[in-house]
Structure 1
Amino acid sequence: MNTINNVAEIQVSYYPSILNNFQINDSKSSFELLLEGWCKKTLEMQEEVKILLLNRSNKVLGVYPLAKGGLNSCEVDIRIILSVALKTLSTGIILIHNHPSGNTKPSKADLAITERLKSACDIMNIVLLDHLIITKSDYYSFADEGLL
């Protein structure tokens, strides 16, 4: 095989699971689903970012662990988010991250990345349905607050 013609690509594996029958109807159902699968040992220790990937009926295609950070920040790469969404043929996504501080109020960086991600999703015809900031007992929904 000629390796010069090979191109590096993102690989996403698909393993059907119980999630495939789970439909997201509101921010609370997103929060409950993600909190159940979140590592409780690190929820208050370090920031993590995940993407909930959805089909046209808002049924869950999967959850992609995007990044882990430190106590109060985490790198969010929009190119990777869109690459994963396109590769999985997702028509909608929900961005979720935790605040180890326990404060669900969005930071200026949270507001900025949400705006940038929404613009990028619009170009690719992917709907950014929500951005959730979660703690072990509460959440903030950008959609519920009218910011999406």
Structure 2
Amino acid sequence: MTQLNLQSLFTVNEVEIHYRNKTPYQDRIQITRSTTAYEILRHAWDENKLELIEQFKILLLDRKNNCLAISDISTGGMSACIVDPKVIFVTALKANACGIILAHNHPSQNLQPSPQDLTLTRKLSDCGKLLDIAVLDHLIVTSRNYYSFADEGCMPR
């Protein structure tokens, strides 16, 4: 092996993690009810897409359920959206979140969770347990109303 090839074997990338929250603690909105989460999500959702394409977002929370941020996770088509758990939890870890609230819209305006919605919620809840990040709720959002998995007793234990 040449010296150049040998040297490239030992070249690795370095990863640094930085976190800076620009919102003062006292200005963060505390989420104690699903209606508060819905109001935040509706305010942040693009009205032009709510009834057109399915999107998936998360609310990132601190230990006292104060909202740190909202993050767009995925955009899909008219009837489905692919959600990668790695994207959700790398986002939560980067934000130093202790809890998350999942949310996606149903362009059809049907508030009932599909079997896929229930399976995804269970899977993400299990992932959260491994990382000590609580998955507190999953909201299905429409322009007029919402469905809360927690309020309806559908969150995995």
**TM-score strictly above 0.5:** yes
Over the aligned positions, Cα root-mean-square deviation in angstroms equals 2.4
Structure 2 gaps, min length 5:
1-7
C-alpha displacement of 1:79: 1.1
Query: Given that residues 43 and 100 in structure 1 are in contact (C-alpha distance below 8 angstroms), is that contact kept between their aligned partners in structure 2?
Result: yes
Structure 1 gaps, min length 5:
none
Residue equivalent to 1:114: 121
The alignment's TM-score, normalised by the length of structure 2, stands at 0.85
**How many residue pairs were aligned?**
147
Residue equivalent to 2:91: 84
Relative to structure 1, the CA distance from residue 70 to residue 145 in structure 2 (aligned partners, 3 Å threshold; closer, same or farther) is same
The alignment's TM-score, normalised by the length of structure 1, stands at 0.90
C-alpha displacement of 1:25: 1.0
Say which of 130, 139, 142 aligns to 1:132. 139
Relative to structure 1, the CA distance from residue 12 to residue 100 in structure 2 (aligned partners, 3 Å threshold; closer, same or farther) is farther
Residue equivalent to 1:58: 65
C-alpha displacement of 1:4: 2.8
Query: Given that residues 98 and 133 in structure 1 are in contact (C-alpha distance below 8 angstroms), is that contact kept between their aligned partners in structure 2?
Result: yes
C-alpha displacement of 1:130: 0.2
Instruction: Name the CA distance, whole Å, in 1 between partners of 2:22 and 2:60.
Output: 14
C-alpha displacement of 1:35: 0.2
C-alpha displacement of 1:5: 1.8
Instruction: Name the CA distance, whole Å, in 1 between partners of 2:82 and 2:41.
Output: 19
Query: Given that residues 133 and 140 in structure 1 are in contact (C-alpha distance below 8 angstroms), is that contact kept between their aligned partners in structure 2?
Result: yes
Return the letter of the residue paired with 1:137. R
Query: Given that residues 47 and 72 in structure 1 are in contact (C-alpha distance below 8 angstroms), is that contact kept between their aligned partners in structure 2?
Result: yes
Larger radius of gyration: 2
